[in-house]
């Protein structure tokens, strides 16, 4: 049985998630798990999909970065799949670990992907340091703090913290933080 897994990092990437699901179903995946979460977050759908796999199944993803966050994590996932006697197929690479060549290519490509990510993060850190030195980097603007008056007004009108968060497009935790700051006199 072909078992698919689709993931995007954010809720805004709905089209990307739908494209992955469509591609997985088009190649014959009978079951497809999906989730929208960062690769470093807990991924319940991934765990459920792997748990569902049985001997002889093939676990399918569209791209390697949708599956693993590092070479080490990839190795752990492959070890788990191999222990279950489940193959892995990565569509964008034409990779299939049910073959010896596929296993070799997966390890090489996983190493290259991790190297590429580390280089990107290093360039990002260098760019931020340069922008800070030039006085151009301000960081992300705090969105919840800018909405603190609206938070207090809506809470004062009897809205729940969850409703306030949804209406203002901020996290529920941010609502609590704004209220805690206002109770201490700092705003």
Pair type for strands 87-90 and 95-96 = antiparallel
Identify the pLDDT of residue 186: 53
- How many domains would you assign to the chain? 2
In 3D space, the residue among 120, 110, 116 whose CA is nearest the CA of residue 71 turns out to be 110
**One domain for residues 19 and 67:** yes
Q: Write the CATH number for 60.
A: 3.40.50.1390
**One domain for residues 7 and 57:** yes
Active-site residue list:
9
Structure token digits, residue 57: 């199944």
Assign 88 to helix, strand or coil: strand
Identify the pLDDT of residue 70: 75
Domain that holds residue 155: 143-183
In a domain, 135, yes or no: no
What are the pLDDT tens digits along the chain (187 aa)? 999 999 987 766 778 889 999 999 999 999 999 998 776 778 889 999 999 999 999 999 999 888 887 777 888 888 899 899 999 999 998 889 888 898 888 778 777 877 888 898 899 999 999 999 998 887 777 777 788 889 999 999 999 999 998 888 888 888 998 888 877 655 4
**One domain for residues 106 and 169:** no
């Amino acid at each position: 049985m072909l078992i698919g897994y689709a993931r995007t990092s954010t809720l805004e990437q709905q089209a990307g998630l739908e494209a992955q699901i469509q591609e997985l179903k088009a190649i014959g995946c009978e079951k497809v798990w999906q989730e929208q979460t960062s690769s470093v977050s807990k991924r319940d759908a991934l765990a459920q999909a792997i748990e569902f796999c049985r001997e002889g199944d093939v676990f399918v993803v569209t791209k390697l970065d949708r599956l693993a966050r590092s070479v080490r994590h990839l190795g752990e996932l492959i070890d788990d799949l191999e222990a279950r006697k489940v193959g892995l197929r990565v569509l964008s690479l034409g990779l299939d670990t049910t073959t010896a060549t596929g296993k070799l290519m997966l390890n090489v490509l996983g190493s290259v992907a991790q190297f590429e990510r580390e280089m990107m993060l290093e360039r990002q850190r260098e760019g931020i340091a340069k922008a800070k030195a030039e006085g151009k980097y301000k960081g992300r603007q705090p969105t919840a703090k800018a909405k603190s008056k609206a938070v207090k007004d809506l809470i004062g009108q009897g809205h729940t913290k969850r409703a306030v968060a949804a209406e203002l497009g901020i996290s529920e935790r941010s609502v609590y933080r704004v209220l805690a700051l206002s109770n201490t006199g700092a705003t």
